[in-house]
Amino acid sequence: MIRRLFKKKRHDPQSKLGKILDKYNIPREYFSINRRSISRGVLIGLFWGFIPMPMQMLAVVMSTPFIRFNVPIAISMVWLSNPVTMPPMYYMEYLTGNFLLGKEGIGGIELTMEWFKNHLADIFVPLYVGTAFYSIVVSYIIYLLINWLWIRSVKAEKHRKERERRARHEQ
């Protein structure tokens, strides 16, 4: 299942990517395909993707010295917050922040710069409380889900191979 999807993309040291990694001395762990690397990449990418800030991809790259993860996966997760998805995401974070803080929120929202400039102080705290919830809690739940799916996939593949081996021996 999920594991097989990623495992098909093995890195050959003689490939173009392998030569670039060797030339610029980039650790192969940043491109490795295993459960830990992929799930961490999803976690880091979603963490930064939920935060309303410019240059989220740069934040992902700046995280690499501290945590080893699959960088392309993390960057692709950051792309989930794009100009089309940002308004609903940030509005959802704002509503969640209001709910967690027990506030009513602001009515009569207008999509003008003047309105945002006048109400930034009212929006800021609930938005970032909701952002913290999604960045930490939701991205960690998805991290756990990816780990669980990967382990389940490995077990299913192991059982399938065992059944095939038994079927060959019975013939």
Residue type, 85: T
Tens-binned pLDDT, residue by residue, of the chain (171 aa): 555 555 555 555 566 766 666 665 666 677 878 899 999 999 999 999 999 988 999 999 999 889 889 999 999 999 988 889 988 998 899 999 999 999 988 877 777 888 888 888 888 999 999 999 999 999 999 999 999 999 999 999 999 999 988 888 887
DSSP 12: P
Instruction: Enumerate the domain spans of the chain.
Output: 2-170
pTM (2 d.p.): 0.79
For residue 32, which of 76, 68, 57 has the smallest C-alpha distance?
Answer: 68
Q: Enter the tokens of residue 95.
A: 């509503």
- Residues in CB range of 111: below 8 A, 6 or more apart: none
Instruction: Evaluate whether 3 touches 150 at the Cβ level (below 8 Å).
Output: yes
Residue type, 59: A
Q: Is the dihedral of CA 50, 56, 62, 67 positive or negative?
A: positive
CA distances from 13 to 23, 24, 147 (A): 11, 14, 27
